[in-house]
Structure 1
Amino acid sequence: MRASDSRDSGQAFPIYIMVVTGLLFAALAFVVVGMAGATRSKAQGAADASALAAAREGRDNAFRGVDFLALTQADWERILNGDRLNANGACAKAVSFATKNDADATCDADLPEFRVSVSTKDTVGKSVIPGSEDLKGHAKATAVIEPRCTLNPSSTPNPTPNPTPNPTSSPGGGGTAPPQSIDFRCKGGVAVTLNPSKPGSLVDLARKLFSVRLAD
């Protein structure tokens, strides 16, 4: 081999090492980007699930403590508009749900919306990129409670008065007429009828009258 060929090979070898090292670093960097994306996706999933958990809790408790026999038509219209929703315990449910998904969450209830911010407890991990071992996933989500039904125009709820004892009435005679049933028209043409004196499961009723979804 000539001396010039040997000299050229010696000069090319460091360049070859630099190119291989650069390609290896780029490949590892792409791996870190993928890991960061997965961490971010995990955070978004936890945020979505936590926001929905809060909204469902608020929806399911919509009728807790309600005296159906005392509700007027105006009361029902406010209820169906979401004006009497209750956020008690909803944000606690969001935080609990985030914890189950290995994340920390903060929640803000602004009925009918619930806004949740989440950060993952796990990090991207150590890598060729400095600081990745401290990089967590962060995400936000908003869930909203939406009315599904309106009062049937033919249904006019009125409070049911307490029966007044009548000393001249014979046992089993007279008394107060049974409360009028309340009819609702819901999305998809679904009809819902409520007996105010026997409302049944309050959670089932809330789920029929309200839906929960993630905000766009």
Structure 2
Amino acid sequence: MRYPTFRNADQGQTLPIYIWMTGILLFVAFAFFAFAQAAAARNGAQSAADAAALAAAQDARGELLDDLGTALGEDGDWLDWLTGDLLEGTGAQAAAEQLAAENDSSVTGFGPTEVNGYPGYDVEIETNFAVGNSIIPGTESMNASARAVAVVEPRCDFDVNADPAEIIELDCDGELVEIDPEDFQRDDLPDASVLFSVHLAE
């Protein structure tokens, strides 16, 4: 006597479950890929913003050194330039825009700022490239944006009550720099990075 088997019936019921589970796994995989795309775009935008802000601050630092050299020959209060308070940075925005363009991005916001008493620049950028196609609607035309702040910080300690007409000794993070305003040549100034550091604000 033969008895009925339910193996085929069980297989028929299990197949839709496998299809359903496979669909869920594919959806999760595509969703993960979409989030990875978005994260990569955000990281690229932040890198571009950081580079643009640093470029602005570095350009301003170079200009500050030039102004210090000019003041040493003409201005009796040349020590004021060492504090960074007189920073103007007329070319800072152009430097930020150039670095942003090199990173396929555009500057959407720019302005001077102050962090812990030090001058700097606040830069906002938007990428020229989109996040890309994904299961999330609209990402094919969505650009990433980011913001960064870079600061110009004086590195040198000196006697603020010193006579600017006399020889001044600066202690720039352990590196001693001597400036004689009575016997000064522009080449006597050290590199701008010795007098001022440039870094991203935390």
- 2:113 corresponds to which letter in structure 1? D
Q: What are the within-5 Å matches in structure 2 for residues 55-204 of structure 1?
A: 55-65=57-67, 66-72=70-76, 75-105=77-107, 106-110=109-113, 112-152=119-159, 156-158=163-165, 180-187=166-173, 189-196=174-181, 197-200=184-187, 204=190
Rounded Cα–Cα distance in structure 1 between residues aligned with 2:125 and 2:154: 27
- 1:191 corresponds to which letter in structure 2? L
Larger Rg: 1 or 2? 1
Rounded Cα–Cα distance in structure 2 between residues aligned with 1:137 and 1:33: 13
Measured on the aligned residues, the alpha-carbon RMSD in Å equals 2.3
**Do the aligned partners of residues 11 and 152 (structure 1) sit closer, same or farther apart at CA in structure 2, a change above 3 Å counting?**
same
Q: Are the counterparts in 1 of residues 72 and 78 from structure 2 also a CA contact under 8 Å?
A: no
- 1:68 corresponds to which letter in structure 2? L
Report percent identity of matched pairs: 38
Question: How far is 1:4 from its partner?
Answer: 4.8
Question: Does structure 1 residue 214 correspond to structure 2 residue 196?
Answer: no
More helix per residue: 1 or 2? 2
Unpaired stretches in structure 2, ≥5 consecutive residues: none
Which stretch of the first structure deviates more once superposed, 85-94 or 109-118? Answer: 109-118
Rounded Cα–Cα distance in structure 1 between residues aligned with 2:104 and 2:4: 65
Question: How far is 1:27 from its partner?
Answer: 0.7
Rounded Cα–Cα distance in structure 1 between residues aligned with 2:131 and 2:168: 55
Rounded Cα–Cα distance in structure 1 between residues aligned with 2:160 and 2:48: 42
Rounded Cα–Cα distance in structure 2 between residues aligned with 1:17 and 1:205: 67
Question: How far is 1:78 from its partner?
Answer: 2.2
- 2:198 corresponds to which letter in structure 1? V
- 1:101 corresponds to which letter in structure 2? N
Structure 2 counterpart of 1:175: none
- 1:208 corresponds to which letter in structure 2? V
Rounded Cα–Cα distance in structure 1 between residues aligned with 2:193 and 2:179: 13
Rounded Cα–Cα distance in structure 2 between residues aligned with 1:47 and 1:155: 40
Q: Are the counterparts in 1 of residues 79 and 164 from structure 2 also a CA contact under 8 Å?
A: no
Find 1:11's aligned residue among 6, 10, 13: 13
Question: How far is 1:135 from its partner?
Answer: 2.4
- 2:178 corresponds to which letter in structure 1? T
Q: Are the counterparts in 2 of residues 77 and 151 from structure 1 also a CA contact under 8 Å?
A: no
Find 1:43's aligned residue among 34, 40, 45: 45
Rounded Cα–Cα distance in structure 2 between residues aligned with 1:9 and 1:50: 61
RCO higher in 1 or 2 (8 Å CA, sep ≥ 6)?
1
Rounded Cα–Cα distance in structure 2 between residues aligned with 1:16 and 1:206: 66
Question: How far is 1:85 from its partner?
Answer: 0.9
